[in-house]
């Protein structure tokens, strides 16, 4: 049964390339069989989410108006979301094979002192748009080595470490606003076929500029604490370092995704889902010179991500089932028109995504629920662009504020602090300052 997960991901990618819905539905069924067999191997949070999802599907079957077309769409959604995280998560295979990039901080901190924060933010965004969560491991892991080699200790070390970690996390949070590889973009463009990454990008760029300006002054002062001082130990450039190559490769990867999406029927997100596994397989095949080893490493990587794949797949089914149970068409009449409803829906959705992240609900789940409801409103003639912009902004801020997210847990481990302090104390004021301007951004849509 271990082979069902890689097979399900492969079938969904084939469905995207061939536009064959039956392959996508089959992929969703295989995912269901795999997780039913491996239920006990899942962590408590995914299992609880699975029970909630089963309850929502059961409610839809009992009190809704189920039909085969809706069931196929739920199965296809599970396959799409699961394949998304599975395909892009294969970049972890490359992270494990990269050399220790100890020069990343030396290069970034050697720049103009006034531009340290933008440099970290943009570099971390570019890398995380390809490596995703692996960027945080890369930056935090190399930071400890850099501080030790420089002999930086005491308050300077604590403040500088906080500046780097916060900048890396905020660069990671820019991915939903700017990158075609974002799960937020994947959710919205799938639920709302009329939307595209290109349509969302201008508003995401404005939001990213706002977030940059809000955090620039304070975090830049912290980063300056790590700049070279006379009593610091000298560090020779790493001969094996390849940070510039990694950064360039990330930008070229985004360019390739955009080119494929422009020249085919694929969206930018779908292009990323196909290109990343192909690139990883070719790289591993070139390094190992063995088809068997390449297959085993890719399969093991996917199996190691089964909790994440399950959460993403459940989010799709849960969001779809809930949206089928809520008669959102009645909302249009209740508001006496469609002008205020999109703005109100976007603002409430944005706040909900941010607030429920504090109590442990993963942002992808709340975004999936909101996207399903927005798709219902769009079917009634409501323009979804403004609310979609607000939801993406909320998703980005929730990534910073959730103390239960993988990113906060990772930073807390490296900083030896509680996840609540990393998420809320380090980013709480930043999120509060960003809520109003990001909440007003949909007015431009």
For 93-143, how does the pLDDT look when each residue is reduced to its tens digit (9 = 90+)? 776 666 545 567 777 887 788 899 998 999 889 888 876 766 777 787 778
Q: CA-to-CA distance for 193 and 172, rounded, in angstroms?
A: 26
Return the higher-pLDDT residue of 252 and 171: 171
> Which pLDDT score, from 0 to 100, does residue 99 have?
53
CA atoms within 13 A on the CB side of 243: 19
Return the higher-pLDDT residue of 441 and 246: 441
Using pLDDT thresholds of 50, 70 and 90, give the confidence band for residue 335.
low
The residues, ordered by sequence, that sit 6+ positions from 335 with a Cβ below 8 Å of its Cβ are 341, 344
Mean pLDDT of 19-44: 91
Return the higher-pLDDT residue of 444 and 332: 444
Mean pLDDT of 173-201: 88
> Which pLDDT score, from 0 to 100, does residue 264 have?
85
Return the higher-pLDDT residue of 335 and 433: 433
pTM, to two decimals: 0.78
> Which pLDDT score, from 0 to 100, does residue 199 have?
93
The residues, ordered by sequence, that sit 6+ positions from 187 with a Cβ below 8 Å of its Cβ are 81, 364, 367, 368, 371
Give the rounded percent of residues in the chain with a pLDDT score beyond 90: 27
Of 123, 256, 122, 264, nearest in space to 180 by CA: 256
Q: CA-to-CA distance for 398 and 231, rounded, in angstroms?
A: 40
142-156 per-position pLDDT tens digit: 787 777 777 777 888
Mean pLDDT of 229-234: 60
- What are the distances in angstroms from CA 223 to CA 109, 220, 264? 8, 5, 43
Using pLDDT thresholds of 50, 70 and 90, give the confidence band for residue 339.
low
> Which pLDDT score, from 0 to 100, does residue 100 have?
47
> Which pLDDT score, from 0 to 100, does residue 35 have?
93
Give the rounded percent of residues in the chain with a pLDDT score beyond 70: 89
Cβ burial, residue 216 (10 Å; 0-12/13-18/19+): middle
> Which pLDDT score, from 0 to 100, does residue 45 have?
77
158-167 per-position pLDDT tens digit: 888 888 999 9
CA atoms within 13 A on the CB side of 360: 5
- The DSSP call for residue 112 is -
Mean pLDDT of 51-55: 92
> Which pLDDT score, from 0 to 100, does residue 239 have?
43
- What are the distances in angstroms from CA 26 to CA 75, 83, 317? 8, 13, 15
Q: Which conformational region is residue 132 in: left (phi greater than 0), alpha (psi within -120 to 50 degrees), or beta?
A: left
> Which pLDDT score, from 0 to 100, does residue 9 have?
93
Evaluate if residue 302 carries a pLDDT over 60: yes
Mean pLDDT of 204-232: 85
Q: How many CB atoms lie within 10 A of CB 282?
A: 11
Of 187, 181, 28, 201, nearest in space to 91 by CA: 181
Using pLDDT thresholds of 50, 70 and 90, give the confidence band for residue 280.
confident
> Which pLDDT score, from 0 to 100, does residue 226 have?
82
345-394 per-position pLDDT tens digit: 889 999 999 998 887 777 888 888 888 888 888 887 888 999 999 999 99
The residues, ordered by sequence, that sit 6+ positions from 319 with a Cβ below 8 Å of its Cβ are 77, 191, 365, 368, 369, 370, 371, 372
Evaluate if residue 401 carries a pLDDT over 60: yes
Using pLDDT thresholds of 50, 70 and 90, give the confidence band for residue 191.
confident
Evaluate if residue 337 carries a pLDDT over 70: no
Mean pLDDT of 11-32: 92
> Which pLDDT score, from 0 to 100, does residue 237 have?
52
Dihedral, 237, 241, 245, 251 alpha carbons, nearest 10:
-100
> Which pLDDT score, from 0 to 100, does residue 391 have?
95
Average pLDDT, the chain: 83
């Amino acid at each position: 049964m271990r082979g069902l997960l890689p097979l399900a991901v492969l079938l969904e990618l084939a469905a995207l390339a061939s536009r064959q819905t039956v392959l996508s539905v089959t992929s969703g069924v295989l995912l269901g069989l795999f997780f039913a067999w491996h239920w006990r191997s899942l962590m408590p949070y995914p299992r609880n989410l699975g029970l909630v999802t089963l309850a929502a599907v059961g409610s839809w079957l009992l009190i809704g108006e189920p039909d085969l077309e809706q069931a196929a769409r739920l199965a296809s959604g599970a396959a799409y979301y699961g394949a998304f995280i599975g395909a892009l998560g294969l970049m972890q295979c490359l992270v494990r094979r990269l050399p220790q990039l100890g020069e990343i901080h030396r290069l970034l901190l050697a720049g103009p002192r006034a531009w340290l924060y933008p440099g970290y933010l943009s570099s971390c965004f570019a890398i995380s748009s390809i490596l995703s969560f692996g960027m945080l491991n890369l930056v935090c892991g190399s930071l400890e080595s850099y501080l030790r080699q420089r002999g930086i200790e005491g308050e300077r070390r604590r403040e500088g470490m906080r500046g780097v970690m916060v900048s890396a996390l905020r660069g990671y949070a820019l991915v939903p606003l700017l990158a075609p590889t974002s799960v937020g973009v994947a959710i919205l463009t799938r639920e709302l076929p009329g939307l595209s990454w290109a349509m969302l990008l201008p508003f995401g760029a404005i939001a990213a500029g706002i977030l940059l300006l809000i955090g620039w002054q304070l975090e830049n002062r912290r980063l300056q604490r790590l700049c070279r001082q006379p009593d610091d130990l000298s560090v020779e450039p790493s001969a094996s370092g390849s940070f510039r190559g990694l950064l360039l490769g990330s930008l070229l990867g985004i360019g390739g995704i955009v080119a494929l999406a422009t020249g085919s029927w694929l969206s930018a997100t779908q292009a990323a889902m196909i290109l990343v596994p192909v690139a990883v397989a070719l790289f591993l095949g070139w390094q190992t010179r063995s088809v068997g080893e390449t297959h085993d490493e890719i399969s093991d990587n996917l199996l190691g991500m089964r909790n994440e794949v399950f959460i993403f797949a459940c989010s799709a089914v849960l969001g779809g089932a809930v949206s089928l149970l809520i008669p959102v068409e009645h909302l249009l009449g209740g508001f006496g028109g469609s002008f205020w409803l999109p703005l109100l829906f976007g603002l409430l959705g944005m706040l909900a995504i941010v607030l429920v992240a504090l109590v442990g609900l993963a942002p992808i789940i709340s975004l999936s629920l909101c996207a399903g409801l927005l798709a219902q409103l769009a079917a009634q003639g409501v323009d979804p662009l403004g609310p979609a912009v607000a939801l993406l902004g909320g998703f980005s801020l929730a990534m910073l504020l959730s103390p239960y997210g993988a990113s906060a847990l990772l930073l807390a481990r490296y900083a030896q602090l509680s996840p609540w302090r990393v998420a809320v104390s380090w980013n709480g004021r930043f999120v509060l300052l960003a809520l109003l301007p990001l909440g007003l951004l949909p007015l431009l849509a």
